[in-house]
Amino acid sequence: MDKDNTVTVKNMTNSPVTIMSRNHHLIREIAPHGASTYFDKTLFEQLLFEPGIKYMIDSGILYIEDMETKKELGIEPEDAKEPVNVIVLTDKQRRQYMVNLSLDEFKEKVDKLGYEQVELLADYATANKLIDFDKCEYIKKKSGRDIISAIRLTRQNQEKETQENKEG
């Protein structure tokens, strides 16, 4: 495919994502953790009219890195230098949110994230045992995910497994 007529789409979640369009006789699965697939730009422009695909782009499940392409497709404003409508965090940024930002800065930035990105932030905080009570409570308010309880349950399960291994 010609690079100028191609859209590279990344899966930003921890699960495979399937793009389906009956109108275009299309089924395409994208592997998790930043795997990419390519679409003809004209086709992808048409796919954005399908609510499920539009939702996956708007919420940050699927991501297009190229700013010019996002502007052409109407995903970001023409004058944007950085993403303003669809913000996707890297692990480094997730860590910065949870560790370095003040609570006010954290709330301001989290409020700009789509639901799926807040979920991924919660996953990251849980996996890395990043407990800032106020930030965890704010994420719980935004997504319903209780990071502190999840970390506590994980720790209890690990202790139980360790105890069973010692006994077994």
Distance between CA atoms of 98 and 125, rounded to whole angstroms?
7
Q: Nearest Cα to 95, choosing from 121, 133, 69? A: 121
Distance of CA 29 to the CA centre of its chain: 17
| Position 79 in a domain | no
Domain that holds residue 63: 3-72
Distance between CA atoms of 134 and 54, rounded to whole angstroms?
32
**β-pairing, 26-30 with 6-11?**
unpaired
Which bin fits 58, alpha (ψ -120 to 50), beta or left (φ > 0)?
Answer: alpha
Average pLDDT, the chain: 92
Q: How many CB atoms lie within 10 A of CB 14?
A: 12
pLDDT of residue 3: 65
Distance of CA 14 to the CA centre of its chain: 8
Which of 72, 99, 124 represents a domain boundary (last residue)?
A: 72
Q: Nearest Cα to 39, choosing from 76, 69, 15, 78? A: 69
Domains in the chain: how many in total?
2
34-62: per-residue pLDDT in tens? 899 999 999 999 999 999 999 999 888 99
Q: What single letter denotes the amino acid at residue 73?
A: L
| Position 81 in a domain | no
Q: What percent of the chain has pLDDT above 70?
A: 98
Q: What single letter denotes the amino acid at residue 53?
A: I
Question: What mean pLDDT do residues 136-149 have?
Answer: 96
In a shared domain, residues 63 and 99: no
| Position 12 in a domain | yes
Spatial contact of 128 and 96, defined as CB atoms under 8 Å apart? no
Distance between CA atoms of 64 and 112, rounded to whole angstroms?
18
Q: Which two tokens stand for residue 153?
A: 């349950």
Question: What mean pLDDT do residues 149-166 have?
Answer: 90
| Position 63 in a domain | yes
DSSP 8-class letter at 47: H
Q: How many CB atoms lie within 10 A of CB 81?
A: 8
In a shared domain, residues 39 and 98: no
